[in-house]
A and B are shown apart, each in its own frame.
Chain A
Amino acid sequence: MSEQATMTNGATACLLRMYDEQHEIEDYQKGVPRWCTGCGDNAILAAVQRLCRDEGLRPEKTVFVSGIGCSSRLPHYMNTYGFHGLHGRALPVAEGIRMVRPDLAVFVNTGDGDCFSIGAAHWVHAVRYNMNLTVMVHDNQVYGLTKMQVSPTSPRGLKTNTTPLGAHLNPLQPLTVTLGVQNVSFVAQAVDWIPEVLYEIVRAAYHHRGLSFIRIVQRCPEFMPGALDPWVRDPQRVLILRHERGLKLSPALAQIYRNQLEHDPSNIHRAREIASTPDPIPVGILYHNPDAPCYEDLRRNMDQRTTDMIRRGLEAEFDKFTITSHGS
């Protein structure tokens, strides 16, 4: 809340809370998802809807921003505000919303192509700016919406429409890249087939003040069928990162996923080591720094954009041109 709003905050907030309705999960659902049956996007959608309900987020105060891809269909299935934007540009749009409307809860849903390929420049600087956003990258390791092209995280050798002889390069490691950006504050990895952990990570990311980057390894049953089966079927190939300041596992899940590692999320060097070892898949909070400065706090805009101010600004600009009656 801005300083100017504090005089009205107390009474206003009380009265708003008096009449706020309890929202159920259905209140955040809109439409029937058109994703393929078995798509990991469904699990991510369920997790964010559950988060909105559990945190009591007002639908009119929540916005989901996306780019292009299967992942980016998510705002359509959320009964909140949404912005389905251009390919690779989800992050700058979300940052703009954040600057102008600091009162909104802003989430970003992007994919491996949208974020790591065309949107890579925005990704790096968004991490550096560390604005208060929750960014979820739905990484299915392929361009799915456009029917199977190689993406930066596709495994080497994957045959696609654009790489008929197999992908030539080793995949990008998004976690190591993100952890290498100055001012990074929250990096986590989740998988769509462990929904409890996925939810806890999304919740921790929401509560973190700063840019929360979550890479969600998700299955694509249509274009990458069975690609992640070895990890889905074998719990040992998932490494759960737990810590009192990070992820805590329920006893039931701890019985299944016994491959666990005690990792302090404040230790960035260790986080980088873990991130550089993709198998077993590390799942949990790799890095968390609650004290990293946020751009909007450093550049808090105290100016009120009044009509008068805009008019004066426009007149100042127009005064730079000489307009004659003859139009010359």
Chain B
Amino acid sequence: MEADLQAQLAFVLTGRAGAGLSPIAPLRLRPAPLARYRALTTLRHDYPLVLTSAPAGEPVILSLSGLFDVLLGEVGVGTDAERLRHHAFRLERKIREAVAAGATGTLSVLWDQAERQLLTGGESLLKDSCARLRGVLSVDGEVVGCDRALPVRLFTHVWQRAQARKVRRMQEEIDRLARKLSDILGAADANSETGLGAERLRASVGRAFANDFDFAAMSQLLTTTRPVVRLSDVRRARVEHLLATLRSHSFAPADFVFKTLGDALEAHAQRLPGLTALANTITAAGLEIDGGYRDGAHDAVFEALNGRELDPVDRARFPDYLVCLNADTLRAADIAKLTEALCAGVPLKVLIQTDDLLEPSQFGDSHPSAGLAARKLVQAAIDAADVYVLQSPSSHLYRFRDQILRGVEFAGPTLFSVHSGVGEWTDDLPPYLASAAALESRAFPAFVYDPSAGPDWASRFSIDRNPQAEHDWPAHDLSYEDESLQRMSEEVRFTLVDLLACDARYAGYFARVPKEQWNGCMIPVAEFMANGPRGLPDKVPYVLMADSSGGLHRVLVDARLIREAWRSREQWRSLQEWAGVHSSHVERALARERQAREAQAQREAEARAAEAVAVVEAVPTAAAATGAAPAPVAPPEPAEAKPPGEPYIETLRCSTCNECTKINDRMFKYNQNKQAYIADLKAGTYAQMVQAAESCQVAVIHPGKPWNPDEPGLEELLKRAEAFA
């Protein structure tokens, strides 16, 4: 036993397999959590997908399983529902098998093929089921499996649909503007001398009444009374130019798909002046139609705008440039150029496909590159803050369909980073499982960074779609039977080591331990790493793997891979912090807050205790204080008072009745709210002031005392003025 442990420890530390330990490559093992998914075609899952050709507003991507569920929802009712379900699943499986075998085509074609294969036996009920299901099938489109070509096909499909919608909307807007501009010219023409001429009037009435009117007289009458305002030559020329520019443009989404970044950037540079001119034309047309175009003032503005690049909102009207790249073929210069283009806001929709995620880096065979090129781009794009970024393995692209659509429609550059799952896997691990395993192991985590979702990281960045995102590694229940055929169950965490165990290039870092050498010092990798990258000194890490007949094996892991897993875990934890999961800053702030509250509560408790003591001691003297009177309430502030004798008007209450201004419009004037005030006392007499006070409908004029003691009749006037004091 001790010797076995020594041999195991030696392997973990040195990578040298001693007696008893065997290599895993011949055994075609795969991690135990993946064991039950050997026959993927028999399992209902997201793939294959149907890239639909449905109209706008309908989903652009459907999963075959989801589609069949919808069909069953429509026809699978009644006594034959169970039969329909069975037959539907058989048909679905047939289609899935065909796609997995490499068949291509639309859903209707594959459906027909699968149906023919199923119906060779002549089952009439099966034929009936197929017919009923086909009867309610209302969608069609290309069927794609999870393979190397999937990311490009899927993103191109979504992009094309989105761009077609965009082009359609823009064309409708351009048509609308062109119609309105034509109406302006038409109205001007109808109002012109030619438009109001006898011949034109006769033509507008029609032959039936051609002899019933004196069109010459009508023309003379209309010409005499027509409005003076006419379309100026400058404005006509401008409207005609705008119309010509609008009508000269058309867009085809296919012109915006490029195989290389260089081609896309070159096309962008060539087309930018034309797009700028069109965007400015649209704005100017809007102003013209609204009647808000100012000659001279706006001319200068548009001239200046024509020399500038478009702002993102204007640019978002036009199709974006789609570029699909493979990370394996990217060089450092390409990465730098792409980074710069994304940060500069070039309207790119870039797909970076990473096939080989675990290619050993230049620093040693035990260091997987983990999609370094894509990671660099993703990091740079997120740093730019205004680039939409989505990272996902192929297995989860269907679940991210809404986010993919949002990214394609995002008004700015977008970066999609996808791991296809294609690689040098042992045991023919299909791309779907491999990419899902990359997600589970945190080697290729899924996330979305959407700048338009809100002003802060909490609203923009999300890692929700990762399984058990709050943990370092997702945990799965593994049920199996032991040698005495008893059901056993244990929790297994899927780590980077499990993913590496699937790659033939890392087989040398694993060693199978025979059953008879299993011991209590062997602990799962996740548990081993709980104490740091070097783990526990007297323990050895293992992963559970299964062979093709379902037998479980414990496989030791070289310490170098443990360090890689540790690094991967730290990277995942950084991502968690960005997403606000286990944010160390928040936890520290909470801890500080908690401490402060506890300290405050402690102080209050101590103060209360001290107070209680003081009250007890002060009781004999309390009675002497009860006779004190309460502090007086502050009186309300007096209203603003005028100096006695000064005439004034309560301007705010003036009802603009013109009584006072009619009496003397130099003494009484209206302010900016058309309410009266005394503008110039000396401009009138006291008699006029009193008369105004008596005429005022709302009695807001107060004559005060006369300012000219020599004015005649003051005694009587003062008596009359008393009522308005």
Contact = CB atoms under 8 A, between A and B. Distances in A.
Contacts of B297: 19
A304 B287 contact: no
A213 to B, nearest CB: 21
Given A7-B173, A12-B290, A252-B652, A323 B698 contact: no
B205 to A, nearest CB: 12
Interface string A27-43: 00000010001111011
Interface in B684-721: 695, 697-699
Contacts of A253: 652-653
Interface stretch (B103-111, B278-286, B319-327): B278-286
A5 B290 CA distance: 11
Interface string B643-685: 0000000001111111100100000000011110000000000
Given A7-B170, A8-B173, A12-B286, A42 B657 contact: yes
B672 A24 contact: yes
A304 B294 CA distance: 26
Contacts of B282: 7-8, 11
B44 interface: no
A195 interface: yes
Nearest to B170: A7
B592 to A, nearest CB: 39
Nearest to A233: B699
Given A7-B173, A25-B672, A37 B658 contact: yes
A217 B208 CA distance: 56
B662 A37 contact: yes
Contact of A43 (B301, B314, B656): B656
Interface stretch (B176-184, B501-509, B534-542): B176-184
Contact of B176 (A4, A60, A323): A4
B291 A46 contact: no
Contacts of A33: 658
Interface string A84-113: 000000000000000000000000000000
B172 A4 contact: yes
A146 interface: no
B73 interface: no
A223 interface: no
Among A195, A233, A252, A253, the one with the most B-chain Cβ atoms within 10 Å of its Cβ is A195
A47 B689 CA distance: 25
A39 B657 contact: yes
Given A221-B697, A307-B186, A323-B208, A196 B652 contact: yes
B208 A46 contact: no
Interface in B556-589: none
A38 B655 CA distance: 9
Nearest to B297: A19
Contacts of B173: 4, 7-8
A24 B173 CA distance: 36
A10 B172 contact: no
A81 B530 CA distance: 79
A261 interface: no
A25 B673 contact: yes
Nearest to A60: B291
A19 B313 CA distance: 21
Interface in B271-304: 279, 282-283, 285-287, 290-292, 294, 297-298, 301
A38 B301 contact: no
Contacts of A232: 697-699
A237 to B, nearest CB: 14
A252 B301 CA distance: 49
B674 A46 contact: yes
Interface string B599-625: 000000000000000000000000000
B298 A7 contact: no
A7 B176 CA distance: 11
B317 interface: yes
Nearest to B670: A46
B471 interface: no
Given A12-B287, A255-B639, A49 B674 contact: yes
B399 interface: no
A19 to B, nearest CB: 5
Interface string A53-65: 0000000100000
Interface in A150-189: none
A50 B294 CA distance: 27
A298 interface: no
A196 B176 contact: no
A194 interface: yes
Given A37-B662, A39-B657, A43-B657, A16 B674 contact: no
Given A25-B674, A38-B659, A221-B697, A196 B653 contact: yes
B315 to A, nearest CB: 12
B169 interface: yes
A8 B286 contact: yes
A8 B285 CA distance: 9
A191 B659 CA distance: 18
25 contacts: A4-B173, A7-B173, A8-B173, A11-B313, A12-B286, A15-B298, A19-B294, A25-B672, A37-B695, A39-B657, A45-B656, A46-B673, A46-B675, A60-B291, A192-B655, A193-B653, A193-B698, A195-B653, A195-B654, A195-B675, A250-B652, A255-B639, A256-B653, A306-B179, A307-B186
**Which 6 A-B pairs rank lowest in CB-CB distance, beginning with the nearest?**
A8-B286, A12-B286, A46-B674, A46-B656, A43-B655, A11-B283
Given A9-B286, A10-B313, A256-B653, 16 more contacts: A7-B282, A8-B177, A16-B290, A19-B297, A25-B673, A37-B657, A38-B695, A39-B657, A42-B658, A46-B674, A192-B655, A195-B654, A232-B698, A253-B652, A253-B653, A255-B639
